Structure 1
C-alpha cells in the first residue's frame, strides 16, 4: 500500500517516497503545448503547490521522476530550461518586506545557476536574471505559487501594506512584457483573482484558465481517480465504518466532493480525502486549517447569511481590486467556500452553493456564531440540542433554546437588530436541516420554517415587534400546512413574536391545524 502524501507538496519528495500520485501529467502536457502564459485560481490546499513543483521538475529534465506517467514518452528530455521558482509562502516578506524578500530570492537563484548579477534594484535584477539565464542556458521558465499571499495576508487588517505589496508586484511582473523572446513558459497560481489592472496590467497575453472546462481537473481529485488510486484505503474505510463499497463512496461524496469550475467532473478536496484515509474518520479537515474570519466578519457587516444555492450573474467570477468594496460572494467562490452547482446557458446565470458537508457544517457554525454573538462550537451544540427537543416534540424547549440563541444579538453594533434576528433564525433552522428534515424560506408565499419529525410537521411563522396572533392567522390564511395533509402526521402551527425591547421571544402560540 503506497504512502499517503499528506503535507507533501514537493513532487520529487512524493515520488522518491513512493507516495500516491494522481497522474496529472497528461493535462500538464496539453497545458505546455497549447500556450505560454497562464494564470490559475484555486482554493488553498487544493494541489496548486504540487502542480508548480511538478512543472519545476519537468522543465528541469528530471526524467526519472516521471517514469510510468503519461508524459514520460511525450516529453523531449534532451531539452532543459532554467527555472525561476517563486513560492511566495516561503518568502520572508513579513520581516524583510516584499521588495527585499524578492531581491533575496532572485539573488539566491542567480547563485544556484552560477550567473553573475550586478543590479540592486528589484525590477532591474529580475530582468538581468532572466536575460543571464537565457544567455547561459536556454529560454527561462517562471513559476509563481501563491502570488496573492503578500496581499491577502493583510486585507482586513493592514490595507496600506496590502496596497504597497500590490504596487511592488505590479512593478515586478511588468518586466516580463519586453522579455517574451527569453521566456519558455510562465505559470502563476493563487487563491484570489485580483484585476489585471492591479497587478498584471502589462501581461496582456496571460491566459486565465480558472474557468476553462478543459482544465477543471488540473488539480483536485475526480471520483474515478480516487477509486483507481485509493482502492486499498477504501477497503480499510469500509471495514472501519461497517459500510459496503457503494455506501463509503456515497458518504465520501457527501463530505468532500462537489467542487466544480465548469467542467463535467465534480472534484474532491485532496486535503480532506487524504486525511480521511489517514484517520479513518469523516470529519472537518480542510476548513479547520484556516478559519475565514475576514469573510465571516464581512458577511456579518453586510448582514448577508443566505449564501447557499444562490443564483447570480457571471460578473461574480470577475477579478477585483484591493481598493474596491469587496463582493462577499465573489470572495466565497474564489476561496472555496462556494462552488458552481449549475449553469443556465440560456440566461447566463449560475447557481452557487456549498460544495459539500464539510464546508457547509463548519461555515454554518461560524456564521451562526458570528450573528448570534456566540462561539462557533457553542452554536453547534445549541442546534443539536434544538434537534433533540424537536425529536421529543418538546416545543417549549425549542422556544427556550431559540431564546438563548437570540439573547446575544449585537444591538450595540446595529441599533436595528431585526436583520440579525432574521439571520439567527434563518441560520438556526437551515443548520438544523443537516440533522433532521428542516426547510427555511424567505418568501411571504411560504412558511418561514418547516420542521418534520417522525410524528409531526411543524410550521413556524416569525414576527418582529408584532404579535403571535398575527403570525398564527397568517399560517391559517396562507394555508402553509395544506400540502402536507397526505403525510398523515400531526400538523402543528407555531407562531412566534420577538420583542426588540425585551430582546427575546415575548409571546408564542401553538395550534394543531386541520
Structure 2
C-alpha cells in the first residue's frame, strides 16, 4: 500500500510518452516532453527547405507532429516550452504525408495509395481535385491550398524513402519505386512560390541524383553540429526531465545515479551524428524507465526486415562491421543510392554504426553505438555467417553475461567454448582461404584476428559491453571488458599455449593505467584444427593493493 505522500507523488508524476508520435496527445495526456523547440525555432528561422535523416525510433515522427501543430498555430499546446513566447503564432495550411502509411507492393499500388492520401488532405480543406497523376495531383493540391487560404503552405513528409526500403534487396523494384517518388518530390521546387516551409525526414540520406535530384536548394542538416542533438536525449536532458524516474530505477535496482546513467549509456547511448556530440535513443530510455531492466528494447521492437535482407543479399561479414579503425567519408554517405551503398554507409544510416569521432573534416571513425544496437546486429550476422540461430545464442549468452557480472572466468570461457562448438563447421568453411596462407606467421595472425571478431560478435550478441584491439602503453589488447570497476584483459593465441598469451599480457603490462577494483589477465589458446578454444589460464590483480591472485589453468 502506498502512503498518502507516495500516492500524491504517483498522481503528479508525468507519464512516459512510450511510442507516442502525436504532439497534441503527448501534451494533453500530461506526458514528459523533452523540450526541443529551441532547435525548431532556429531551424525554421534560418531555412525554408530542410532534410533530416535519423535511425528508426528516434523521434522523427514526433518532430513532424510538433511542426504540424506549431504551424497550425496551436499555441496552448506549447505552454511552458522555450518557443511559447517567441514564435509568431499564425495558422498556415499544412500538407503532411507519412510514407509509412502507403502501399508499396507495386508501383501501381503505390501511386494509388499516394493519390488517396493526397485526396484525403484535399478533402480536409474542402478542395476539389481534378488531376489524374500523382505528380499533378500533388502540384494541384499545394497550389490550390495556397490560393484558397491566401497563405503559403507548409509541407511535411515523414520517412520519404520507406517505399524504397521495402524493396532494398530487389534493385529493379527499388528503382521503379524511386521513379514514382521522384515524380512526386520533383514537383516541390516548382511549387516554391506556394510554400512557407518544407521538412522531410528519412532513415537514409538522400543523394544528389536520387529522388530529390531537381530540388537543389534542399538543406541536409543530418550531420550539422547545431542540430546533432535535436533528436534523441542528452545526459543532461535525462537528468533534467526524468529525475523521479531515475530515483525509482536506482531504488529498485539498488544502484546510485552515476552507475545507472553509465549503464544507460552502455545500453542505449553512444549515438553521434557529427562525431562530437552524443545522444541516447529516446525510445529505449523510455522503456527502461518503465520496466527498470537493462534489455535490448530498440532491438526487441523488431530489427527492420530491410536490414536483414540487405545483410543477406550483400553477404556482409562480421569483420566488415567489428574491425578496428572503421572509417567513412561524407562522400561515401551521399554518393550512392541506399540499395547501392557500401555496407558501412548503410549501417551508419540505419543506426547500427555511429560516428565515434571526426578524424578530419568530413572523415569519421565508426563504432557500434551501444549494446542494444550491437546485440541486434551481431545476432543477425552470426546467423547469416555461421548458422548460429538467435535461440542458441539467447540460451548461452545470458550465462556469459552473468559470468562477467559475477567475475566467474571459467564459466565465461566455457560459455564461449560452447558457442564456438556450435559454429565449428561454418567456422571451418570461413577459415579455408586463410589455412592456405604459405607464411606461417601471417596465417596464425589472420586466424587470430578472425577469432577475435567472432568472439566479439558473441559478446555483443550476448549483451556484454567490450572493446577489441584497445591501444594501451604496452601494446594492443585483443579484447577488453570493463564492468562495474572490474577489468578483464583477454589475449588470444592460435596453436600456441595459453600461458604464452598470459605472459604477453604481463610482460607488456597491459593492465597498467586501469584504476580498477580487480583486473583479470586471461590468456586463451585456440586450436585451429578443432576450431575452438583449447585452454585458458588467468591471474587476478587486486587493484586496491596490487597483489596477484592464484594462477588458474584449464
TM-score when normalising by structure 1: 0.84
- 1:222 aligns with 234
- 1:81 aligns with 92
In the aligned structure 1, how far is the partner of 2:231 from the partner of 2:196? 22
- 2:349 aligns with 334
Instruction: State which drifts further: 396-405 or 270-279.
Output: 396-405
- 2:330 aligns with 315
1:448–1:461 CA contact under 8 A, matched in 2: no
Equivalent of 2:408 in 376, 386, 391: 391
1:298–1:328 CA contact under 8 A, matched in 2: no
In the aligned structure 2, how far is the partner of 1:392 from the partner of 1:263? 35
- What is the deviation of 1:371? 2.6
- What is the deviation of 1:247? 2.4
- 2:493 aligns with 461
- What is the deviation of 1:307? 2.7
In the aligned structure 1, how far is the partner of 2:194 from the partner of 2:260? 51
Q: How does 1:48-63 map to 2 (within 5 A)?
A: 48-63=60-75
In the aligned structure 1, how far is the partner of 2:161 from the partner of 2:141? 22
What are the Cα deviations for residues 448-472 of structure 1, in whole angstroms up to 9, with x where unaligned?
668999999764312xxxxx3xx45
Change in Cα spacing, 1:185 to 1:498, as seen in structure 2 (3 Å) is same
In the aligned structure 2, how far is the partner of 1:21 from the partner of 1:162? 37
Equivalent of 1:426 in 453, 470, 474: 453
Equivalent of 1:127 in 110, 118, 139: 139
In the aligned structure 1, how far is the partner of 2:223 from the partner of 2:197? 20
Q: Tell me, which stretches of 5 or more residues in structure 1 are unaligned?
A: 463-467
Equivalent of 1:282 in 271, 294, 297: 294
In the aligned structure 1, how far is the partner of 2:215 from the partner of 2:487? 63
- What is the deviation of 1:175? 1.0
1:405–1:424 CA contact under 8 A, matched in 2: no
1:235 aligns with 2:247: yes
SS, match of residue 358 in structure 2? strand
What are the Cα deviations for residues 165-192 of structure 1, in whole angstroms up to 9, with x where unaligned?
1001111111122221111111000001
Two-structure CA RMSD over aligned residues (Å): 3.8
- 1:465 aligns with none
What are the Cα deviations for residues 332-354 of structure 1, in whole angstroms up to 9, with x where unaligned?
11111111111123x75422112
- 1:351 aligns with 365
- 2:526 aligns with 496
In the aligned structure 2, how far is the partner of 1:232 from the partner of 1:452? 28
2:480–2:487 CA contact under 8 A, matched in 1: no
1:447–1:460 CA contact under 8 A, matched in 2: no
Change in Cα spacing, 1:442 to 1:5, as seen in structure 2 (3 Å) is closer
In the aligned structure 1, how far is the partner of 2:424 from the partner of 2:111? 49
1:123–1:171 CA contact under 8 A, matched in 2: yes
Q: How does 1:4-43 map to 2 (within 5 A)?
A: 4-43=16-55
Q: How does 1:242-257 map to 2 (within 5 A)?
A: 242-257=254-269
- 2:209 aligns with 197
SS, match of residue 388 in structure 2? coil
TM-score when normalising by structure 2: 0.79
Q: How does 1:474-485 map to 2 (within 5 A)?
A: 475=500, 481-484=506-509
Q: How does 1:91-240 map to 2 (within 5 A)?
A: 91-94=102-105, 97-137=109-149, 138-156=151-169, 158-240=170-252
